């Protein structure tokens, strides 16, 4: 369970508070304990070191979370990287009054939602994000809507016929080309194209019927 590792010797120098840093080793049952104490301290000493620690602490879980919405590894990483970049560019660490974790997760969800809207409905929310819009702190019932959305997307993916789902995951999640998948599965590229357009149609239809969180 305790797989959280925080490396102290970072590329941008080691932080001076080296004494037994136990970020991530606090029992999960006790979430009230302040896991981010050392990261905040690091931001005071050297912003870049703090930033690196923060990145290392949350990048993996944020990517995993983003992937539940966008269903592609690459886009998930890009979105999370973008959130971190905005965080650094706007010096959000000086301004936010929630935990870094809450801020980052909320921002990633917001970006992921906008990406979906852009991808399936070509809603042009994507441009706005260049200015570092993060959607602010979501309302409690909005949070549950976000939860429902990724669970819903999981259901859509699970509802695809097995062969179609396999192709969808290989192409979209793993980033394999149609030709690679066709070769691995021993079918024609045409067949792969068919599976993909079917899968995307199912997604588009299901998401159109769904009320997206937010405004």
Binding residues for another protein, rule: CB under 8 A, are: 1, 3-4, 11-13, 28-29, 31-32, 35, 46-48, 52, 55-56, 58-65, 67-68, 73, 76-77, 81, 84-85, 88-89, 91, 98-99, 101-102, 105-106, 131-132, 140-141, 143-144, 147, 151, 154-155, 173
Give burial (CB, 10 Å; 0-12/13-18/19+) of 44: exposed
Query: Within 13 Å and on the Cβ side, how many CA atoms surround 59?
Result: 15
Are 51 and 15 within 8 A, CB to CB? Answer: no
Q: Which is nearer to another protein, 123 or 154 (CB)?
A: 154
d(CA 165, CA 186): 16
Q: Which is nearer to another protein, 56 or 187 (CB)?
A: 56
- Residue 128 CB, shortest distance to another protein, in Å, is 12
Are 66 and 80 within 8 A, CB to CB? Answer: yes
Q: Which is nearer to another protein, 40 or 187 (CB)?
A: 40
Q: Which is nearer to another protein, 98 or 188 (CB)?
A: 98
Are 149 and 113 within 8 A, CB to CB? Answer: yes
């Amino acid at each position: 369970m305790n797989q959280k590792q925080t490396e102290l010797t970072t590329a941008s120098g080691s932080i001076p508070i080296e004494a037994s840093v136990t970020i991530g080793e606090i029992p999960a049952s006790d979430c009230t304990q302040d896991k981010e104490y050392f990261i905040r301290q690091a931001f005071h000493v050297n912003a870049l070191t703090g930033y690196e620690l923060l990145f290392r602490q949350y990048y993996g879980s944020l990517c995993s979370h983003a992937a539940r919405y966008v269903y592609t590894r690459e886009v998930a990483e890009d979105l999370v990287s973008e959130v971190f970049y905005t965080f650094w560019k706007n010096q959000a660490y000086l301004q936010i009054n929630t935990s870094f974790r809450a801020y980052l997760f909320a921002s990633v969800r917001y970006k992921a939602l906008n990406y979906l809207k852009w991808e399936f409905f070509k809603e042009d929310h994507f441009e706005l994000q260049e200015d570092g819009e993060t959607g602010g702190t979501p309302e409690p019932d909005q949070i549950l809507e976000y939860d429902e959305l990724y669970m819903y997307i999981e259901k859509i993916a699970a509802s695809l016929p097995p062969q179609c789902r396999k192709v969808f995951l290989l192409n979209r999640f793993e980033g394999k080309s149609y030709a690679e998948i066709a070769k691995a599965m021993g079918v024609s590229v045409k067949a792969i194209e068919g599976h993909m357009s079917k899968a995307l149609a199912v997604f588009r239809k299901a998401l159109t019927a769904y009320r997206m969180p937010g405004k």
